[in-house]
């Protein structure tokens, strides 16, 4: 969820701290990622009204994270728009 309370758009790209793409946002604003550590920071980017928008979130894999095949779903993240 964005810091303004709106869902992050479907198919937004997710990047790790080294600027590698590690996943995408799925339906309902869920973050589907792969190859992440137990804790870290991510950047999510998308286009809104023709302009690039980014937000940043800290994650920690815990009981609210789900694993499906090779992907991890990060639930309940608050992404700060900058």
DSSP secondary-structure letter at 27? Answer: G
Domain that holds residue 61: 13-81
Say if 46 falls within a structural domain. yes
Q: Is residue 60 part of a domain?
A: yes
Answer yes or no: is 8 within a domain. no
Number of domains in the chain: 1
In a domain, 4, yes or no: no
Distance set, CA 55 to CA 28, 33, 41, 69, 81 (Å): 17, 16, 11, 26, 4
Q: Divide the 82 residues of the chain into consecutive groups of 10 and give the mean pLDDT of each group.
A: 89 97 92 93 96 95 72 89 86
Residue 26 belongs to some domain of the structure:
yes
């Amino acid at each position: 969820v964005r810091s303004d309370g709106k869902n992050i758009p479907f198919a937004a790209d997710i990047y790790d701290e080294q600027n590698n793409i590690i996943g995408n946002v799925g339906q309902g604003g869920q973050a589907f990622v792969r190859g992440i550590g137990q804790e870290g920071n991510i950047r999510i980017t998308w286009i809104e009204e023709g302009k690039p928008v980014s937000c940043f979130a800290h994650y920690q894999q815990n009981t609210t994270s789900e694993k499906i095949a090779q992907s991890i779903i990060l639930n309940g993240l608050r992404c700060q728009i900058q």
